[in-house]
Structure 1
Amino acid sequence: MSLPDSTPADFHSGPPELRRTRDALTLQFAGSAAVQSIMSVLNPHALELEYTRLMMGFLLFDSDPRRMLMIGLGGGSLPKFCHRYLPNASIDVVEIDPEVIALRDAFHVPPDDARFRVIAADGSQYLQMDPEPVDVLLVDAYDGRGMPAALCEQTFFEDCDAALLPDGILVVNLHLESESYPICLAHLREVFGTSLFEVIDDDMTNSIVFACKGERFDDTDLRRALRKPERMSKDAWRQLQPTFKLIEATLILR
């Protein structure tokens, strides 16, 4: 399919900046104090920020997704992790900012191949083009000013719903202190109803919202889900298991 213009007129953000220390590489936008991504120099595939480990909570409900779509590349933490540890998954990543895409090598984002590609496009417009439905859709799209306005509209979350397979899962990262947080959450509830739950990270900074089609969240045996998936490496599970217990605790109270 032909892609929309990847830099629409209403997209404005300070340029992305790399900041290096002896142990880490971080991504920030000029004029913003918010850290978008952190990469460990010693372990480039590790998920350094807790909210990224929380977003991987979809594995509790689908441990072996075949098709994944991500909106927002950033420093590539989630795409890298999924590419490395979910070998059966075909992964498309949509990123609007060409300057962010240009930094992919610095963050060890894998090159495009038969099952992984980075697409230069507006995420909201991309969903409107009726892409192939996916098992998992991750939305983590912040620039130097916050969540783009187009991704805070109810129509965007309706398009997310349409992009999911019948048992598909949507995971959205929201910032608790952002003005868009209550708006996005209300729209998500309007679209997904009770097939939704929210997990707050320990720092009370990020809200990770999980939404699905059907009854997947109600039907999952969490005791079984909290065991390491057969195909997952011990290294990946060691990173995720402590955070997954927070998701379990949230669901028990749901």
Structure 2
Amino acid sequence: MSEAQGQSRPFVTEFGTLRALQFDGLTVQSVMSIADPDVLALDYTRAMMGFLLFKPRPRHIVMVGLGGGSLAKYCLRTLPDTRFTAVEISPEVIALRQRFGIPPDDERFRVLCADGADYLRDSDDAPDVLLVDGFVATGQPARLGSADFFADCRRALAPDGVLVVNHWAGDGRYPVYAARLREAFDGRVLAIAAEDGDNRISFSAPGPGFPPSRGRILARCAELAELHSFDVADIAQRVLARLDRMMGRRSADAGLDGAGSHSD
């Protein structure tokens, strides 16, 4: 969860059965269960895995911000046909990878020490899924909330790909970042809340078929439930609740437009 330029050095702390990555004494950046290192210990990571409801068999995942590697480890274990590239700006964070059980680089997995914004600007990888989870102690770096960054995310994705952004709603800049994301993706954004903090997870896609129908999401949920250890149905219900609100708002807007078009 780190994009750690210009801040305190990362350090590791332990709380009973949990190991955490921190940059200060107040904010936890990543958490790992010592007994089960590959489990998704924080709800925001489980919410980010909601991309499976839209792209269940990604060919290549790129993530901005390695942190403690929870998402990388989970994807490597449960998506055996998927390649995973993590782009982390902080060499100090990368140096802690063994403390969090992050595997060494191989043909499926690589960790690059680079600025995620620069990487996406110059990349021709065309990933099927792009995960953005880059934070400093004070919130999301401004560059990862810029209009140029979100435009680069859209350009970098495969045509049928999905972008997943972890926002912190406690950041006063969050409404601006969210508006820029909606503009970059022509309004094709669906956001849900995480249950263990002020995290808001936004799913976006460049293709006109996003978001999919309720029926498609429910069918995907049924397929995924037997393959994954987290509660896929819980994430799907949050997605569906948000989709219902979006559809209701559009229906209301259409009704208002229709009411305004009548003439005597």
- Aligned to 2:112, the other structure's residue is in SS state strand
CA distance in structure 1 between the aligned counterparts of 2:211 and 2:61, rounded to whole angstroms? 22
CA distance in structure 2 between the aligned counterparts of 1:175 and 1:218, rounded to whole angstroms? 22
User: Where does residue 226 of structure 1 map in the other structure?
Assistant: 221
Q: 2:118 aligns with which of 103, 112, 125?
A: 125
CA distance in structure 2 between the aligned counterparts of 1:134 and 1:239, rounded to whole angstroms? 25
User: Where does residue 76 of structure 1 map in the other structure?
Assistant: 69
- Aligned to 1:18, the other structure's residue is in SS state strand
Conserved? CA contact 2:135–2:141, under 8 Å: yes
User: Where does residue 3 of structure 1 map in the other structure?
Assistant: none
Question: Which segment drifts farther, 116-125 or 175-184?
Answer: 175-184
By percentage of residues, which structure has more strand?
Answer: 1
Q: 2:96 aligns with which of 90, 94, 103?
A: 103
Q: Which residue identity is paired with 1:80?
A: K
Determine whether 1:134 maps to 2:146. Answer: no
CA distance in structure 1 between the aligned counterparts of 2:236 and 2:220, rounded to whole angstroms? 10
Q: Considering only aligned residues, what root-mean-square deviation do their CA atoms show, in Å?
A: 1.8
Determine whether 1:19 maps to 2:37. Answer: no
Q: Which residue identity is paired with 2:7?
A: S
Any stretches of 5+ residues in structure 2 without a counterpart? 247-264
Q: Which residue identity is paired with 2:101?
A: H
1:237 positional shift: 4.1
1:204 positional shift: 5.3
Percent identity over the alignment? Answer: 41
Conserved? CA contact 2:190–2:211, under 8 Å: no
Conserved? CA contact 1:85–1:233, under 8 Å: no
Conserved? CA contact 1:112–1:118, under 8 Å: yes
1:98 positional shift: 0.5
CA distance in structure 2 between the aligned counterparts of 1:81 and 1:215, rounded to whole angstroms? 29
CA distance in structure 2 between the aligned counterparts of 1:83 and 1:216, rounded to whole angstroms? 28
User: Where does residue 232 of structure 2 map in the other structure?
Assistant: 240
User: Where does residue 4 of structure 1 map in the other structure?
Assistant: none
Conserved? CA contact 1:133–1:163, under 8 Å: yes
Larger Rg computed on CA atoms? 2
CA distance in structure 1 between the aligned counterparts of 2:170 and 2:64, rounded to whole angstroms? 21
Q: 2:51 aligns with which of 55, 58, 72?
A: 58
CA distance in structure 2 between the aligned counterparts of 1:45 and 1:248, rounded to whole angstroms? 27
1:156 positional shift: 0.5
CA distance in structure 1 between the aligned counterparts of 2:182 and 2:200, rounded to whole angstroms? 14
Any stretches of 5+ residues in structure 1 without a counterpart? 1-6
CA distance in structure 1 between the aligned counterparts of 2:192 and 2:15, rounded to whole angstroms? 31
CA distance in structure 2 between the aligned counterparts of 1:218 and 1:72, rounded to whole angstroms? 25
By percentage of residues, which structure has more helix?
Answer: 2
User: Where does residue 213 of structure 1 map in the other structure?
Assistant: 206
1:129 positional shift: 1.2
Q: Which residue identity is paired with 1:126?
A: Y
Alignment of 1:12-51 (within 5 A): 12-30=6-24, 32-51=25-44
Alignment of 1:109-188 (within 5 A): 109-188=102-181
1:173 positional shift: 0.3
CA distance in structure 2 between the aligned counterparts of 1:238 and 1:157, rounded to whole angstroms? 29
Q: Which residue identity is paired with 2:16?
A: R
TM-score for the superposition, normalised by structure 1: 0.90
